[in-house]
Amino acid sequence: MSKELIILGTGGHARVVYDAVIAAGDYRPIGFIDLQTDYTGEELPLPYLGDYSTIRKYPDAHFIIAIGSNRIRQEIADGYDIHYATIIHPSAIFGSNVTLGVGSFVSAGAIINANSIIGKHAIVNTGALIEHDNIIGRYAHIGPKATTGSNVIVGEHCFLGIHAAILPNLTISGYNTIGAGAVVTKDIHTHDVHVGIPAKALGKHHK
């Protein structure tokens, strides 16, 4: 029998993760948990089990943090010593020798090519392309259709927006946001929001 899984989060991303869990069939999802104490969960496909105090009632279950915010994912992971699942949509494509960190999520249509490493609790969202020999840091979020060239390093807590592109052989240090459609053409070592073609810093600290 497949292992029980509880999804932490109730937003749109949580429902995307639920769909991937059902498609993959590796776990048996039993419900959702979130911060809200008076939430009914009427729009959810499974019961709303309660707020985070409910976690202790399920010592044998596995959990996936299905929340888009990198900061919140780390706060939850640091705060709860529980069994975290790694969820992969069956339509995702992997090259050889790819490593996925615990608690990471790879969405439908994503491609992760050879020798790439995805850090713990990272998100590789729908249709994203991670080329060969990449390192994606823990708690990073690679948005839908974002693309990283070969030999790219994306630091922890980075966010790449929809259709963002990182040219090959570049490094983006941790805690940077790359806006939708931006093209990164040189290394980034600040903690900032970067937009445009080529991507330029806005002078706003990454959150």
Domain regions of the chain by residue span: 3-85, 88-205
pLDDT recorded at residue 35:
85
The CB-side HSE value for 100 (13 A sphere, CA atoms) comes to 24
pLDDT recorded at residue 47:
93
For residue 203, what pLDDT band results from cuts at 50, 70 and 90? confident
Look up the CATH architecture of domain 88-205: 3 Solenoid (2.160)
- 129, amino acid identity: L
Kindly tell me if the per-residue pLDDT of 206 is higher than 60. no
Kindly give the pairing relationship between strand 192-195 and strand 200-205: antiparallel
For residue 37, what pLDDT band results from cuts at 50, 70 and 90? low
**pTM (2 d.p.):** 0.95
Cβ atoms of 112 and 98 closer than 8 Å: yes
Kindly tell me if the per-residue pLDDT of 40 is higher than 80. no
Sheet holding 99-100, edge to edge: 99-100, 117-118, 135-136, 153-154, 171-172
For residue 36, what pLDDT band results from cuts at 50, 70 and 90? confident
Kindly tell me if the per-residue pLDDT of 1 is higher than 60. no
Mean pLDDT of 160-184: 98
Residue 86 burial (10 A CB sphere; 0-12, 13-18, 19+)? middle
For residue 138, what pLDDT band results from cuts at 50, 70 and 90? very high
The CB-side HSE value for 130 (13 A sphere, CA atoms) comes to 38
Mean pLDDT of the chain: 95
Show which residues are catalytic: 132
From residue 164, alpha-carbon distances to 55, 93, 160, 177 in Å are 36, 20, 6, 10
What is the topology classification, in CATH, of domain 3-85?
Rossmann fold (3.40.50)
| 3-class secondary structure per residue, 120-179 | CCCEECCCCEECCCCEECCCCEECCCCEECCCCEECCCCEECCCCEECCCCEECCCCEEC
Determine how many CB atoms are found less than 10 A away from the CB of residue 90.
10
Mean pLDDT of 51-61: 95
Least confident span in 35-49, 70-84, 85-99, 155-169: 35-49
Name which of 37, 42, 38, 36 is nearest 15 in CA terms: 42
What would the pLDDT profile of 115-136 be if each residue is shown by its tens digit?
999 999 999 999 999 999 999 9
Helix-strand-coil split of the chain, %, nearest 5:
15, 30, 55
Least confident span in 47-51, 116-120, 154-158, 159-163: 47-51
How many Å apart are CA 172 and CA 167, to the nearest integer? Answer: 11
Helix (H/G/I), strand (E/B), else coil: 90 = coil
